[in-house]
Each structure stands twice: as structure tokens, then as C-alpha cells.
Amino acid sequence: MSKFEKVLSCLDEGFSCSQAIPFVYGPQWNLECETALKISAALGAGMSRTGNICGAVSSAVLVISLKHGHSKAGDTQGKERIYSLIKLFINNFTALNGSVKCSDLRL
């Protein structure tokens, strides 16, 4: 089963888009499945049904940070690297979808 199919399966089980992304992608960087579901639970529907930033986008940022984020205080180069990667992700997502705001993305 592809990662995309796993995300869809997670959604079919009743989890939110914000939970599906770290549930599927997080274990690659030692994020336990239960922890992934819990830390991303409130991000769904644009931050707890407020329609703000898409939960899938927020969770993708978490997963990108798991892979590329810095973990040492004072690592300004690492901080700039992750900020740059996230800006690129947000810009690309917006270019493809028109927005990162849940209320703009939902039909």
C-alpha cells in the first residue's frame, strides 16, 4: 500500500487530515503512531474547526520538521534551513491549491 493509500485509509477510519499525515509519515523519524495521532488531533479543520491553516498543511510542517529540523540551541544555520524549507513548502502548496487556509480549500 502506498503512503497516499495509507493516508486515505486513515481518513476512511475517521481520523482527520491533520492526523493522517503524521500517522503515515512520522514513523520514518521515530514518531510513534499513537503520539502522531494525539499531537495532530487539534489541527483538523483548520485548527479545531476555525477554518484557519489546513490541518494537513500544519501536520506536513511537523513531519518536515521531524526530518530536517534542528535540535540544538544556537543552531542558526539549522533554523534558517528549516524555515527556508517550510517557506518553500507553503509557497508550493499555495501555488498548487490557491491557499493554505482550510476554509478556502474545503468544498
Q: What is the pLDDT along the chain (107 residues), one digit of tens a residue?
A: 999 999 999 999 999 999 999 999 999 999 999 999 999 999 999 999 999 999 999 999 999 999 999 999 999 999 999 999 999 999 999 999 999 999 999 86
pLDDT for the residue numbered 16: 96
Res 106: pLDDT:
80
Nearest to 39 by CA among 10, 19, 16: 19
Tell me the pTM. Answer: 0.91
Query: Are the C-beta atoms of 24 and 3 separated by less than 8 Å?
Result: yes
Provide CB contacts within 8 A for 44, sequence distance 6+: 16, 17, 18, 19, 55
Torsion of CA 88, 11, 22, 29, to 10 degrees: -110
